[in-house]
Amino acid sequence: MRVLLLGMVLLLGGCSVHPPKPWQKATLAKEIFTQGSCASEFSTIQSHVYFSKEASKGGGGVAGGGCGCN
Amino acid sequence: MRKLTTLLFPLLLFAYQVGDKVDPDILRQLKSDSKIVVVDFFASWCHSCAKELPQLQNFSYPKTEIVGVDVDEDVEAGRAFRKRLGLTIKTVEDPEGKIVSKFDPVGVPAIYIIVDGQVRDIIVGARDDIASVLKNHLARIAR
């Protein structure tokens, strides 16, 4: 039973995710990681659809990765 | 279970919080002998930092020194960023995150006010008028 439990812990440990720390987000802050950065039409159309459906605008983007911005 | 909790509990207390004493080795790396050290963690890819840092350029307060900690993993990018901003404040490069990982801020920019080796205040996030915000925080600490 113990061996089985240990095996399960080890297997699940392999699935653990270590998110980057705020100061390690240089790559994530690059424009290429912004949704629709490759095709500006994508974000334009998406924001239009969002506006039409939700009757609200804004909040679709993110500040640079890791920023503790207000 | 109790043993496990005892082992894991210190990990939760790892990041410096207000009131914590800073490791003397970290203080040495910050290269400041001032009574009050204002440590500002920033990175070249942080747009808010670029807005905030120039305001700290000419900041002065009695017995206080500002030390920037550039957390860029790419040292050259950090240097180029500082050159572009014309930064002259004392800066320590921390590409391996040895200093910043001790403080473990929730984001950058993050300012830690250290008085006599003790964390007295933390300001996380960019402010439009960081110079006056910082002055208010320092005045409150002095009271």
pLDDT (tens digit per residue) in A12-40: 776 667 788 888 888 888 877 776 666 66
Calpha distance B17→B22 (Å, rounded):
10
Mapped onto helix, strand or coil, the DSSP state of residue B98 is: coil
Facing B74 at nearest CB: one of A23, A26, A64:
A26
Q: Which pTM does this prediction carry?
A: 0.75
ipTM value greater than 0.85: no
> Measured between beta carbons, which residues in chain B are less than 8 angstroms from residue A29?
45-46
- The minimum CA-CA distance between B71 and chain A, rounded to whole Å, is 6
**For the stretch B83-112, what's the b/e string if a residue is b when 16 or more beta carbons lie within 10 angstroms of its beta carbon?**
eebebebebeebeeeebbbbbebebbbbbb
Return the C-alpha torsion angle B51, B54, B60, B66, nearest 10.
Answer: 80
DSSP assignment string, A2-56 = HHHHHHHHHHHHTT---PPPGGG-TTTTSGGGSTTSS-HHHHHHHHHHHHHHHS-
Report chain A residues touching chain B, CB-CB < 8 A.
21-26, 29-30, 63-70
Calpha distance B58→A62 (Å, rounded):
31
What pLDDT digit, counting tens, does each position of B37-85 carry?
999 999 999 988 998 999 998 899 999 999 999 999 999 999 999 999 9
